[in-house]
Structure 1
Amino acid sequence: MASLRKKLPPLTALTAFEAAARLSSFTRAAAELGVTQAAISHQIHVLEQDFGFPLFRRLHRRIELTEKGRLLSAAAGDAFNLIAETVTSLREDGPDDELAISATISFSHFWLLPRIAAFSRACPEVKLRIITQDARTSIEASDVDLAIRYGTGAWSDGQAEFLFEDEVFPICSADYARAAGPIRTPEDLVGHPLISSDADDPTWTGWEEWLAAFSVKPTKKGRGLRCSFYSEAIYAAMNGQGIALGWSRLVADLIQQNRLVRLTEASIRTRAAYFVVVPQRKVQKESVRLFIEWLRTASG
């Protein structure tokens, strides 16, 4: 063991290097490991001093692995993934097979949780853990078994399988619709409080894009509540705060329950779609396969 330790570089520095090499960024590596960028730079420097040669080329606003850095990155990545898979397998060695599912707040609240009991009835031996978060994190660097995401499907941290597209149309509470009077066309929406939500994803459809699809310009002094999350916008609409954009897959149950009503027949298709994403480097559990099969049926 002593001989092996002498052959290995400092493991703290190797961990920092693996993250920086995989993410092509000292900054992103620092965020993933919960340290400062200066700490990552220091650990890389320690590693390069230990080896006696550079592992990165420091270019303008970016870094690039040297040839020897690429060799070390491949070896470190394979070794860390093997350890992670073994640890995961050991932790799962028992009667319960826990399945960790990551989903956005809105998808979890409005689509997944209302339906998840059906999966539990079909597979009662699988213990579920729902990780609800809008911030997208690498599923290969976490204990997530699969993620349900909205986007183009081009993610480097996993293999994406298409689930469904969506359409978007105006919605509000039944009380608001009665008080507002007839709203039959996109032009009729102008002047009403339009509830919006912040989104970092450029493929997410907001009011400006939706109205522009029908050649309608919102008023310069548009009024309406602005929320941090889409789920908040939906709850605001249900409480009569104004009109929000309803994503059909997410609000279908609420419309059926008459907690929301659709305004106008106008709608647009989303530019992206929902996908289920599984890590590429992890050993896929049987529960992952079962859940994906259930997703296909439930979303069909």
Structure 2
Amino acid sequence: MDITFKNVNYTYQANSPLATVGLKNINLEFRSGTYTAIIGQTGSGKSTLLQHLNALLRPTSGEVVVGSQVVTPTTKNKELYDLRRKVGLVFQFPESQLFEETVLKDVAFAPKNFGKSEDEANQIAKEALRLVGIDESLENKMPFDLSGGQMRRVAIAGVLAMEPEVLVLDEPTAGLDPLGRQQIMDLFLSIHQKRHLTTILVTHQMDDVVNYADDVAVLEHGEVIKFGTPQEVFADLQWLNEHNLELPSTGQLVQQLIKKGFQFERLPLTEAELITAIKPQLERGPENG
């Protein structure tokens, strides 16, 4: 499902003395089936933009087109039923939203709420639980009896049970250690590929951007200041410094290797790219090494 922002502006508390600009002239396209990362400093407008994806917020001016649904400042809540089923949001610490007495009931809640029978909802829930790696033996346990990692997977399954076409991830690995973060990010990539979803990730983890995203949008003060592939966005080191953005860890290592005499035609951003680029140089030794 394509999502397009057309000249979108959003102002908090518009027409009041406390009016604050949240988004400014956003023109942005999320192509169907792609994986896009959104990065920027705190307060850059990332969360405000996310809330426009399923019309939790509606633009002050401009329009957001989600598939065939057009959202404008005058769109009514009753017009948004299908849209909110098609766009699934995974917020920070999603496990805090668990509330039912069993795992299965919690995950089946959304499809039942959208009109599925109990049997249909349970079948959808079971499929979602298997997709996130939750075994059938855990279905009748209380969610809060699970480990933290299992609780997060159950919460993600609850979003997937809506059978969305778009999956929106707002800092979904917050609070996890590096191994847990990688496991969850690998899970999202697997879901993205198996269900052919349009996936949109907000993150401060630059490694996740280069390892998973097809495209990157950089926000600053409510505006999109750059959009492109990870290679395009991270290519200009001076520009990154000017906008207080970090290189991913591999890029930082490459900077140190350059100081030691290694040479690179283009900046490797992932471990695989670095290994490919550095192997011939290690075999013959760096130019100045």
Structure 1 length as normaliser, TM-score?
A: 0.25
Structure 2 length as normaliser, TM-score?
A: 0.26
* Structure of higher CA gyration radius: 1
